[in-house]
Amino acid sequence: MSAIKKEIKNPPHFQIITSTLALEEVCQRAREKSYVALDTEFIRTRTFYPKLGLIQLYDGEKVSLIDPLVIDDFSAFIALLADINVIKILHASKEDLEIFYHYFKQLPTPLIDTQVVSQFLGFGHSMGFASLIYHYFQLELDKGASRTDWLARPLSDVQLRYAAADVWYLLPLYEKMQQHLLQTPWQSAVQNECELLLEKISKPRDPERAYFDIPNAWKLNEQALMALKLLAKWRLEEAIKRDVALNFIVKSEHLWLVAKHLPKHTSALLDLGLLPMEVRVNGKKMLQLVEKAKRTPKEAYPSPIVRLVDEPRYRAGLKMLQQKLNEITPAELPIETISSKRGLESLMKWCWIKHQDPNDLPDLLKGWRKEFGETLLKSLQSF
């Protein structure tokens, strides 16, 4: 009986791993395979980082549900993540990668993301796991346990089977999709796209640029923008240090109001509409940063934020790029696989506003997209 028939004809069976010794045995066995399936379950409500509740690992023989709440030595699992001889198969892996990088300081390499593969097989940009399983195997997955509190114990059998299914069916899905991918010219592009995913996760957020993420930052004058830069940097560093979601430190819109109005007293913070908790816990610090911005020499102010939409050529330029992209996209590839509207805007911004900085290339000028991006860039430069 083939591996695909085994998983498609039978419900997932699994073992729960709650000790370092058991984890070592599971990971050693997994490292003897050519590829394994991985997934995580987590919750993320008030924290900056996801809270890991479960790790699912399938080596083609056994599904292991690894309990991170009771295991304190993950060196064997980290070695598996780092083993370049074992391909790690994940689906829609961005948040899983964030978890691995945060908890273990190690990303799963090499990586194949089946959602990435699906893009190159014509499924569009964000094809869900359950939809792919139904497409290939006519199986409907039960998603009833998707809202589980994965930090609660004990987990029910229904919850555990739900978690196990995500890797139990992932390997046969990968095998099926890989057969189709080998019939296309896109194998190296898939590999490159997955490498770019890993590269982005491993690049830390720069607190100095956190103010760019605040809505309407572009509306502020130079002194207010200086204040916002200091406030946003402090908020991000505080969120990381305390592992608290950004908006539970201070809401973004409140940070913007403080920067715009440069208040002097805590009563003024309340008058602006800040929450009493925000003022009580962080009011003094915000006022200190406002005063620091006021003392900052003008030559140290950040440059005004230039919006692409304010560029006179924006609308016509975007329409031209969309038409050109449609012309050069291979017939079997969804257009958004090469670039979304945001990707085209990033190319325009790099060309017109960032002075074609070679140290800050847009995605369209990296990796497998580069040949398409360069064609688009030529059109843009002559526009």
Note if 96 is an active site residue: yes
Other Cβ atoms less than 10 A from the Cβ of 59: the count is 21
- Known active-site residue 314: no
Burial class (CB in 10 A: 0-12, 13-18, 19+), 192: middle
Angle of helix 341-352 relative to helix 314-328, nearest 10 degrees, comes to 120
Please measure the distance between the N-terminal and C-terminal CA atoms of the chain and give it in whole angstroms.
Answer: 60
Per the listing, tokens 């934020």 go with: 305
Residues in the chain: 383
Residue 236 contacts residue 268 (beta carbons within 8 Å): no
Active-site choice (96, 278, 345, 363): 96
Catalytic position from the list 7, 59, 83, 166: 166
Tell me whether the omega of the peptide bond preceding residue 154 falls within 30 degrees of 0, making it cis.
yes
Q: Tokens 């490159």, residue?
A: 192
Residue tagged active-site, from 35, 58, 101, 162: 162
Say if residues 13 and 19 touch (Cβ distance below 8 Å). Answer: no
Q: Are strands 87-90 and 111-113 parallel, antiparallel or unpaired?
A: parallel
Q: Are 186 and 194 in contact (CB under 8 A)?
A: no
Catalytic residue among 7, 41, 193, 278: 41
Quick check: is 136 catalytic?
A: no
CA atoms of 351 and 348, how far apart (whole Å): 5
Does the annotation mark 162 as catalytic?
Answer: yes
Buried b (16+ CB within 10 A) or exposed e, 299-326: eebbeeeeeeeeeeebeebbebbeebbe
Provide the 10 A C-beta neighbour count for residue 137. 16
> Catalytic: which of 7, 35, 39, 169?
39
Q: Is 41 a residue of the active site?
A: yes
Exposed/middle/buried for residue 257 (C-beta within 10 Å: 0-12, 13-18, 19+):
middle
Contact (CB, 8 A) for 284 and 266: yes
- Separation CA 298–CA 310 (nearest Å): 25
Please state the φ and ψ torsions of residue 250, each to the nearest 5 degrees.
-150, 135
- Find tokens 């229904």 and name the residue: 158
Query: What gap in Å lies between CA 46 and CA 43, rounded to an integer?
Result: 9
d(CA 336, CA 118): 12
Active-site positions? Answer: 39, 41, 96, 162, 166
